[in-house]
Amino acid sequence: MCRAPVGDGANLTTFESELTLLIGAHVSIAGGLANAVERGIDLECDAIQIFNQSSRMWRATNYSEDDVAAFREGIDASRIGAVLIHAVYLINCASLEQEVRDKSLTALKNALRLGDRIGAVGVVLHPGSQKGRDYEECIRAVGDGLREALAESERCPILLEDTAGAAGTLGRDFDELSRLVELGGSERIGLCLDCCHLLASGFEVRSRDALTEVVDALDAKVGLDRLRALHVNDSKMPLGSNRDRHANLGEGELGERGLRVFLSEPRFESLPAVLETPITDAGTYRAEIRLAKRLRREGVANRRRARRRR
């Protein structure tokens, strides 16, 4: 569950404390779960996202009760108000190959069970890819997989992430995401929207009016109550390119102007908003998180000025 920043978060200025978007980043669990919290604190995150195991291996990582307790204690003492788990990239719930399907569902269940233990907002999941197989069979396979994984976990939601629209990937628009939610058949299924993916799949999100139309469409087709998280990335590729290539904030097709708009959208209030930009150095990552927070403040101020002019 999301919460307002505590601990170090209590030191925020009055203006910052009014801004409830929880901006943070994907952080490493190298060395143990609790290290992810320390990295998030060092980066000045108000939300963090982690992989529950190696992102490109099937082998699960097992966590002891002490590991989980140390993680939760660290979160409770920090400014971090939300935790996301990103499911590993190998998972393909749309696969019709039995071995891939079995491994995918096992990995998804493992992520959900850890999410239950650490109180995660949700497990972010790429819906899957057809790999040349029949569309209807594949989309129904995703629904079946979602139901099975949720039945074998307790509370943690699955957050389906919108895709950039590359051939064969599922979740490229709100109609498809709505169908996946319906097939999953559970209130524990939500969405995570990535602004890079939205732009790449053909959604114009760089102006207030355009983004308003996009969020209106999301509300009409899926429901805003399903939106639980955001991924904040600039895009190396242009509008409608259907290519998923993350860029550093302000250096891509969204640019600082588009990111101000996205980060200040009023209906995104209280959501975790996690950066996944191509940075490995902690100092530059911290600077980019600060940039995101500045763009958010500037975007909110721009919206306030626009309302006063009406």
**Per-residue confidence in pLDDT tens, the chain, 310 aa:** 565 444 444 334 333 444 589 999 999 999 999 999 999 999 999 999 999 999 889 999 999 999 999 999 999 999 999 999 999 999 999 999 999 999 999 999 999 999 999 999 999 999 999 999 999 999 999 999 999 999 999 999 999 999 999 989 999 999 999 999 999 999 999 999 999 999 999 999 999 999 999 999 999 999 999 999 999 999 999 999 999 999 999 999 999 999 999 999 999 999 999 999 998 788 999 999 999 999 999 999 999 999 898 7
How is residue 245 written in tokens?
């290539």
Q: Which amino acid is at 234?
A: D
Residue 169 has a pLDDT of 96
Classify residue 147 as exposed, middle or buried by CB count within 10 Å of its CB (0-12, 13-18, 19+): middle
Q: What's the whole-model pTM score?
A: 0.93
Sorted by where each begins, the domain ranges of the chain are 7-309
Residue 1 has a pLDDT of 52
Residue 17 has a pLDDT of 41
Residue 55 has a pLDDT of 87
Residue 10 has a pLDDT of 39
Residue 310 has a pLDDT of 77
How is residue 217 written in tokens?
């469409």
Using DSSP, state whether 155 is helix, strand or coil.
coil
In angstroms and rounded to an integer, the radius of gyration of the C-alpha atoms of the chain is: 19
Residue 211 has a pLDDT of 98
Instruction: Please name the residues in contact with 42: beta carbons below 8 A apart, sequence gap of 6 or more.
Output: 282, 286
Asked if the 7-309 domain carries CATH number 3.20.20.150, the reply is yes
Place of tokens 């099937």: 58
What is the tens place of the pLDDT at every residue in 144-153? 999 999 999 9
**DSSP state string for 69-80:** HHHHHHHHTSS-
How is residue 45 written in tokens?
């995150």
Residue 16 has a pLDDT of 43
| Angle in degrees, 0-180, between the axes of helices 282-309 and 33-42, rounded to the nearest 10 | 60
